[in-house]
Structure 1
Amino acid sequence: MPQHEAFKGRWAVAACFFVNGFMVGSWAPQIPLLVARFSLSESVLGLLILLVGVGAVTAMPVCGYLMSRYGSRTVLRVAGLLCAGSLLVVALAPAMAVLSVALIAFGGLIGGMDVSMNANAVAVERRLGRAIMSSSHGFWSLGGFVGAGLGGVLAEEWGYLAHAVAVTAIALPLVAAALPHLIVEEKRAPSAGGRFAGFPKSPGVYLVGLVALMCMIPEGAVLDWAALYLRQEMGASLAVASLAFTAFSGTMALMRFLGDRVRDRLGAVKTMRLSGIIAALGMLGAGISPSPLVATLAFALSGLGVANLVPIAFSAAGNQPGISSAAGMSVATTIGYSGLLAAPSLIGFVAETTGFAPIFIAFAMVLGLISLTSNLMRPADAILSQPAADRKPAISGP
């Protein structure tokens, strides 16, 4: 493949990451509007939100199988186009039964697009011979920021249906423009006759999936509970408490755009080790913080470390020896996202007894453990360790 086509593929998959994050961010302003539309209690709302996660986790292994047969580009094209209109289907749901199905489909399309775009990003890394996974996740964070920020204004001014129409009008052209330029990955371990070969037998990919889970749960904990921690246990105002996740997500997005260059220079193993240490120090600082300001700064430090953990883990999963990137990615994403379904409620249950400070201290220990497992990320360096004759030369650009 000519280098200019690979370069187009790099930006095409970046656009897919942006759209996926944009759809997730746009879903957030719809949640309180669902409460008003259907007069939902908190428990029923919790179950409806759970359906989104169930749809995502169910779709990921299914898409892994489909990618093993048809490739990530084909699956991403279908999932991307359907995902761009999925929020509109949720907004049009006239009754609870239809809404439940629409939310499962919405989550499934988000998850299917997620696993296929990560697999395609691995293919782009191989073609270019350099890392792009961290900045791709940076585009996801940027999309989520735009979707949530713009969506809050539009939903308040125009209402839930007009907001969903606007989201579709933005997402669909972006996806349509990107999909023709996605690259086709080289098949690595085809199964006989193109049939499903079963789950990977190598334990390495499952260990990487567990590491991804250990990376994602602390990230989700800051999203769900950091503001409440500052508000309830430190007496911060609502405005100050909200800065905790803002600082965390801001430094995380910044480092994700810088992370590929760091990884290309240091390698995946060393980057993972240093990132885990920085994330652990930040989370520990938040847990023992004497004031909201210090806690906010600690969360910002933790965001710098957390930023590259999941992208490196996904890159390692997609480069496992002896299995296809589709199989590796579907295993890692399914394990990672499955844990996130139960984690928020479990954290809330424990916090009622212990408070949030011990929980963040415990997550610091988890992040420290991640730094000790960094050797599992060695497959992510495969794109940099191939002989020059086996890969295309890297080209400039993000």
Structure 2
Amino acid sequence: MRRDRLGASGVFAVHGAVTGTFATRVPWLADHVGVGTGQLGLALLFPAIGAIAAMSFTGRLLHRYDGRLVTRILLGCWCAALILPALAPNLPLLCAALLVYGAASGMADVAMNAEAVAVEQAVGRSIMSGLHGLWSIGGLAASGVGVVAASLDVDGRLHFAIMAAILLVLGQFAARLLPPVRPRPGAVEPPAFALPPRPVLLIGLLGFCAVFGEGAGSDWAAKYLTDIAHAPQGIAAGAYTGFAFAMAAGRLVGDGVVNRLGVVGAVRLGGILAAAGAVLVAVSRQAVPGILGFALLGVGVSVVVPLAFTAAGAATTHPGHAIAGVATISYGAGFAAPAVIGGIAGATSLSVSFVVVAVLTGLIAVGAGRFAPRRR
């Protein structure tokens, strides 16, 4: 059990570290390719498109082959794909590179979550939230390295190549510690691409609500405090910091909450806290309550998606297919949230946008019963 958990922990941390490495050098990529803000925004849509398009295909791979092998290969592809954006000489090739980068990210994400569900079931208690917390820690650690590299003006191609090599080695070592996971006997092969099976469709929609709240907090926290609370930019940046820290902390302590309150109780509490945080943001006109509201929102949504994967993996005879479907729906919110929030804000105000966030996260508390363990 200890070996399995160590492997899963390492895989999640490596996946997060690839994301953290990329995020810190986006300004370098823009300068290297020679694109402005609008063109960069267009290019950054392609990782989400690639991930959403590719995730559902992972379920077929997990049915045909050992989950440990699939995770090792896809995680290796994800680490190697980090190099591609830095090699792109122009905008079209950057978009193509980011499409591949996003597809590798999404498929590796589904495979490692399917392995994590198997490890959690063997352990017999909740560990999924903590694994996602380690993903956040891996991202923070790699972003720290990226900040140093950017400060020293290290060429992004060299930075990405070194990090890709290091993370590839670490990821392969961690993945070798995972348990072999084969399809359940008698399970019919799932379709190559499909929406999640009916038993987990609502779980995916509740995950969508959580990721929508996460996207709203991460993308709009600083802007909200600047425009609505009229806070200086330095203080406004603290809203995102508080949100990100609260999410990471919530995931690290989430397993203890699940083991004490149960899955349904933890999800319901998360939905209540997230909705309360969104309401506080919507009514705040000063920086301190606004930052507190974003922190509550971060804590509230932190455990929902990890527990959605756990619930999906246990609900059908095709854990990989179910997790892929839930991931496709849930992560689609990360693609939609920034634009929807911006559209509502343009028509009304950012305060009204966060009323919508409060309603969606409140639905998590209402539908928490769908996360209850079910007999297959």
Q: Please tell me the TM-score bracket, short chain as reference.
A: over 0.9
1:163 aligned partner: 159
Contact 2:222 2:238 in 1 (8 A): yes
Q: How does 1:1-398 map to 2 (within 5 A)?
A: 6-157=1-152, 158-185=154-181, 187-188=183-184, 190-192=186-188, 196=191, 199=194, 202-321=197-316, 323-379=317-373
Local SS of the residue matching 1:245: helix
Letter aligned with residue 24 of structure 1: T
Q: By how many angstroms is 1:202 displaced?
A: 4.6
Name the CA distance, whole Å, in 2 between partners of 1:71 and 1:146.
30
Q: Structure 2: 5+ residue runs without aligned partners?
A: none
Distance (whole Å) between structure 2 residues aligned to residue 202 and residue 92 of structure 1:
39
| Residues 114 and 313, structure 2, Cα contact 8 Å, conserved in 1 | yes
The 3 A distance-change label for structure 1 pair 224 and 198 is closer
Q: Relative to structure 2, which stretch is displaced further, 142-151 or 214-223?
A: 142-151
- What's the CA shift for 1:204? 2.2
Secondary structure of 2:298's match? helix
Q: Which TM-score applies when normalising by structure 2?
A: 0.94
Which residue does 1:390 correspond to in 2? none
Secondary structure of 1:290's counterpart equals coil
CA contact (8 A) 2:213 2:297 kept: no
Q: What is the alpha-carbon distance in structure 1 between the residues aligned to residue 363 and residue 185 of structure 2? A: 32
Residues 87-135 of structure 1: per-residue CA shift (max 9 Å, x gap): 1122122343432222111111111111111111100011111111000
Checking the alignment, whether the CA contact within 8 Å between 2:230 and 2:286 is kept in structure 1 is no
Shift of 1:342: 2.5
Overall identity of the aligned pairs, in %: 35
Distance 1:199 1:160, change over 3 A: closer
Counterpart residue type for residue 176 of structure 2: P
Distance 1:329 1:190 in 2: 19
Unpaired stretches in structure 1, ≥5 consecutive residues:
1-5, 387-398
Write out per-residue CA displacement over residues 356-381 of structure 1, whole angstroms, 9 at most, x where no aligned residue. 111112211211111010110013x7
Q: For 2:277 and 2:203, how far apart are their aligned partners in 1?
A: 23
Amino acid at match of 1:111: G
Contact residue 279 and residue 367 of structure 1 kept, 8 A: yes
SS in 1 for 2:45: helix
The aligned length equals 375
Cα separation, 2, equivalents of 1:94 and 1:104: 15
Q: 1:189 to 1:215 in 2, by over 3 A?
A: farther
